[in-house]
Structure 1
Amino acid sequence: MVPLNQPVLDALDYRLRPFEAKDAELVREASIDPLIPLITTVPSNGVDEEILDFIERQRLRLVDQSGYSFAIADAGSDQAVGQIGLWLKNSGQGRASAGYWIGPSHRNKGIASAALDALSRWGLELPEIHRLELYIEPWNEGSWRAAERCGYIREGLLRSWQEVGGQRKDMYMYSRLR
């Protein structure tokens, strides 16, 4: 199996790039957030080894062709401020899903919108992808507003769609088409 080739994408004042060991501080910050470890593979209260394992797993997604995991980094300083991914589980049906989080100290600056728009434009240029999907908890207004700013359309509510923190949760379904 040939690994996927991950580009670096421009996202206004940010760049989407592969994760590096120097991004450990961002992952450490995310690991103590009350929500991020519940809905991602970021370790909860991660120690150094777990944080470096998380960063390595992001690279391995290219090797197993499950998707692309990008660090969202400030274009000037290259400091990582969040994560965004394009997941290819359903690419055989022409669909991919996206997910993102912003480090707690970097929120409310338009970073998610900039990163999601760049990822979405690039993802919809992949020949096999015709539809991008997002699943967002209804209470997460910041996330669904970012999606709507990027041209995603809310298609409905998926009841009891996903387990989060040991409980089944409803999710809004959003899509953006080629």
Structure 2
Amino acid sequence: MTPEASDTAGTRSFANVTLRTARLLLRPWGEADIDAITAVCQDAEIQRYVPIPAPYSRADAEVFVRRVLPKGRAAGTDVVFGAFDAERALPVASVGLHRIKDLDAPCGGVGEIGYWAAPDARGLGYTAEAVREVCRWGFDELGLARVEWLAIAGNEASWHVVEKLGFVREGTLRSHSIQRGVREDIWIGSLLRDEAKLG
């Protein structure tokens, strides 16, 4: 793990953070990944449940890599990792901590986990492995007290990933978010630092 995060004017920059697990390298998405992101984001399940443009173009991936990700990392509010099979260097998932806040609070901060899985990598445990490592990093390196999970109601695949790690589903936020011009109910859950099953 190389948590090269630095505090600047009360925020933290995540410009160079990379993480590793037994099978995965988690690193910032970069220019060389634009075509792979474009291809994966054609998937109907990702477009149904993840707030990305639909249809999804290469220009959307360029904006994501060149503007959205650097802005969130520099602000210290969002950090998104591409998860790559360490042997084949193929992208298997994207995992991020979003809306990070309260890092200076003595009682700990809060962040929201978000992710998608590449269609050909589903069912192999990669996403749970990557989410586990990002949550561990959030608790150990950032001092988070709580990691939240939000998903469009009915997204059972997303729930199964975090349920394995000890997340508790807390309820449903009715008509909480807009997706494709429609208000959607959102499931909310959380993992607290002393409950985490990240070993």
Is the pair's TM-score, using the shorter chain for normalization, greater than 0.5? yes
**1:68 correspondence with 2:48:** no
**1:30 correspondence with 2:40:** yes
| Aligned position for 1:14 | 24
Task: Report the Cα offset of residue 146 of structure 1.
Answer: 0.8
| Aligned position for 2:61 | 51
Report the identity percentage.
26
| Higher RCO (CA-CA < 8 Å; seq separation 6+) | 1
Task: Report the Cα offset of residue 9 of structure 1.
Answer: 1.3
Which residue of 165, 169, 176 maps to 2:180? 165
SS at match of 2:13: coil
SS at match of 1:15: strand
Question: Do the aligned residues in 2 keep the contact of 1:59 with 1:69 (CA within 8 Å)?
Answer: no
Give deviations 1:45-104, integer Å, cap 9, x for gaps: 444333222112223321122211100111112222221101134335721111000122
Evaluate the alpha carbon distance shift between residue 20 and residue 5 of structure 1 in structure 2; reply closer, same or farther with a 3 A threshold. Answer: closer
SS at match of 1:51: helix
Question: Do the aligned residues in 1 keep the contact of 2:80 with 2:95 (CA within 8 Å)?
Answer: yes
Question: Do the aligned residues in 2 keep the contact of 1:84 with 1:100 (CA within 8 Å)?
Answer: yes
Which residue of 78, 88, 109 maps to 2:99? 88
Question: Do the aligned residues in 1 keep the contact of 2:51 with 2:179 (CA within 8 Å)?
Answer: no
Task: Report the Cα offset of residue 119 of structure 1.
Answer: 0.6
Supply the AA of the counterpart residue of 2:81: F
Question: Do the aligned residues in 2 keep the contact of 1:124 with 1:130 (CA within 8 Å)?
Answer: yes
Q: How many residues align?
A: 178
Task: Give the RMSD, CA atoms, in angstroms.
Answer: 2.2
Question: Do the aligned residues in 2 keep the contact of 1:16 with 1:72 (CA within 8 Å)?
Answer: yes
Gaps of 5+ in 1: none
SS at match of 1:158: strand
Give deviations 1:28-49, integer Å, cap 9, x for gaps: 1233223434654644344433
Structure 1 range deviating more: 109-118 or 42-51: 42-51
Gaps of 5+ in 2: 1-7, 194-199
Evaluate the alpha carbon distance shift between residue 50 and residue 158 of structure 1 in structure 2; reply closer, same or farther with a 3 A threshold. Answer: closer
| Aligned position for 2:90 | 79
Task: Report the Cα offset of residue 167 of structure 1.
Answer: 1.3
Q: Give me the whole-angstrom Cα distance separating, in 1, the residues matched to 2:125 and 2:40.
A: 18
| Aligned position for 1:151 | 166
Evaluate the alpha carbon distance shift between residue 47 and residue 90 of structure 1 in structure 2; reply closer, same or farther with a 3 A threshold. Answer: same
| Aligned position for 2:149 | 134
Question: Do the aligned residues in 2 keep the contact of 1:31 with 1:43 (CA within 8 Å)?
Answer: no
Evaluate the alpha carbon distance shift between residue 11 and residue 142 of structure 1 in structure 2; reply closer, same or farther with a 3 A threshold. Answer: farther
